Amino acid sequence: MENTTYEYNKTLLGTTVSLTLLEPNETVAKIVFKTISMLEDKLTVNRQLSEVMSVNLAAGKHPVIVSQVVFSLIEQAYKVSLIPNNCFNLAIGPLVKLWKIGFKGHQVPNDEQIKQQLLLTKPEDIELNSAIQSVFLKKEGMEIDLGAIAKGYIADITKIILCKHNIHQAIINLGGNVLTIGQSLLSEDGYWHVGLRKPFSFNNELVGIFNVNNKSVVTSGIYERFFIQNNRLYHHIFNPTTGYPLDNELESVTIISNTSLEGDIYSTILYGLGIERSKKFLQKHQNISAIFLLKNKTIALVNHENISFKLLDKQYLISYY
Ligand code: ADP
Ligand code: MG
């Protein structure tokens, strides 16, 4: 059995991006990394210049015409943000910038500051014009933040590039967003084996490992970027109603879906819904599976596609739905 892989790594998107191929192909790896870097340049809000930043800097002033690739992602994020009773909000930028979680100068802001920023986080105050691909943030100080979904969007584009180059078996990992393409030749069962990280473990310990083929695996967790102050943990996924990090029984949500963009959207939405409402939600979404890690060390696996999960950490208890 073939068991050699060729791995290409590059620091991009604030993480290590890795591409695993079954045959060496330096040329394709370069094309993939160049495309990711080009997309990052357009979508980032962590630098002064990007297409999204030019929209943000024109808030309250005028609409900005963006490229098709940027408009398409903003439009999809906007539509999701308008779904009632869900925590996903692309206009969350002012809160992200206020708390600075995961960046230098992070802080617990005072209530007045949070109240002020909440006024600037209404997706209804975004105006899109698809005829000319323009985006207008109606109030000064508003900011679009695509941090929750940019990686998924980029991962899906990467898959298209690989297919165009006739690569039909690969893994792309954008740090938290894993996309498996085709069948694995590495295991007897033909599945890719994906590890589920143990929250807050610093030496890459795994809670378990599971099998997927041709699927995206995306995790949103409270341990990715956080800080602790006065014994409280503040992490980087916000409740757009309160302006504070979302607080519930979950440590992480992993979504197994066809596209990485869906994975990104649903991992954030379900994290916000909490375990019980998520289970109900998933009854109506049979095309996605989810693995929830709870703070009380239980794993809830909503398994719609016969994913076989192997528990490695015996501290955890697993239940299937
Ligand atoms: P990671 O960056 O660890 O992959 P996520 O995909 O869960 O994490 O996205 C977290 C990022 O999404 C935050 O850093 C922030 O930029 C943005 N964000 C935070 N809260 C929300 C929210 N309620 N809706 C949409 N995006 C959010
Ligand atoms: Mg995400």
Count: domains in the chain: 2
DSSP 194-223: EEEEPTT-TT--EEEEEEESS-EEEEEETT
Q: CA 190 to CA 68: how far, in whole Å?
A: 37
pTM of the model: 0.95
pLDDT of 263 over the 50 cut = yes
- Mark whether 121 and 179 lie in a shared domain: no
Same domain, 282 and 178: yes
Q: Do 193 and 278 have their domain in common?
A: yes
The answer to whether 247 and 216 have CB atoms below 8 angstroms apart is no
Please give all residues whose CB falls under 5 A of ion ligand 2, grouped by chain where several chains appear.
Answer: 148, 264
Mutate which of 101, 151, 268, 270 to test ligand 1's pocket (most atoms within 8 Å of Cβ)? 268
Instruction: Report, as an integer, the average pLDDT of 313-321.
Output: 93
User: Is residue 288 one of the residues assigned to a domain?
Assistant: yes
pLDDT at 3 over 70: no
The answer to whether 105 and 287 have CB atoms below 8 angstroms apart is no
Say if residue 187's pLDDT is above 90: no
- Residue 188 has a pLDDT of 85
Digit-coded pLDDT (tens) for 69-99: 999 999 999 999 999 999 999 999 999 999 9
For ligand 1, which residues put their CB under 6 angstroms from it?
87-89, 92, 96, 145, 147-148, 151, 176, 220, 224, 236-238, 240, 264, 268
pLDDT of residue 203: 85
With a CB cutoff of 8 Å and minimum separation 6, the contacts of 164 are none
84 shares a domain with 214: no
210 and 243: one domain? yes
Check residue 2 and give its pLDDT. Answer: 52
Which among 162, 155, 190 is positioned nearest to 176, based on CA atoms?
Answer: 155
For residue 301, give Cα distances in angstroms to 51, 138, 192, 291. Answer: 39, 42, 18, 5
Residue 118 lies in a domain: yes
Q: Where residue 61 sits, what CATH number does that domain have?
A: 1.10.3980.10
pLDDT of residue 1: 46
Q: Are residues 82 and 113 in the same domain?
A: yes
Identify whether the C-beta of residue 218 lies closer than 8 Å to the C-beta of residue 264. yes
The pLDDT value recorded for residue 186 is: 79
What CATH number is attached to the domain comprising 217? 3.10.520.10
Whether 106 and 231 map to the same domain: the answer is no
3-class secondary-structure state, position 190 = coil
Residue 225 pLDDT greater than 70, yes or no: yes
Residue 208 falls inside a structural domain: yes
Residue 57 has what DSSP assignment?
A: H
Q: Are the C-beta atoms of residues 86 and 63 closer than 8 Å to each other?
A: no
- Tell me the C-alpha distance between 165 and 30, whole Å: 12
Q: Give the pLDDT confidence of 128-146 residue by residue, as tens digits.
A: 999 999 999 999 999 999 9
| 212 in a structural domain | yes
Position 157 pLDDT exceeds 70: yes
Residues 307 and 216 in one domain: yes
Residue 26 belongs to what domain range?
Answer: 6-33+167-320
Q: Rounded CA gap, 152 and 265, in Å? A: 9
Q: In this structure, are 106 and 177 located in the same domain?
A: no
Residue written as token pair 């019980």: 276
- % the chain with pLDDT above 70: 99
Query: Is 110 a residue whose pLDDT tops 80?
Result: yes
Q: Is 39 a member of any domain?
A: no
Q: Which residue has the tokens 């490229």?
A: 67
Q: Is the pLDDT of residue 308 over 50?
A: yes
Residue in the structure block whose two tokens are 């790594």: 9
User: Does one domain contain both 179 and 295?
Assistant: yes
- Which of 119, 137, 155 terminates a domain? The answer is 137
Helix (H) or strand (E) holding 131: none
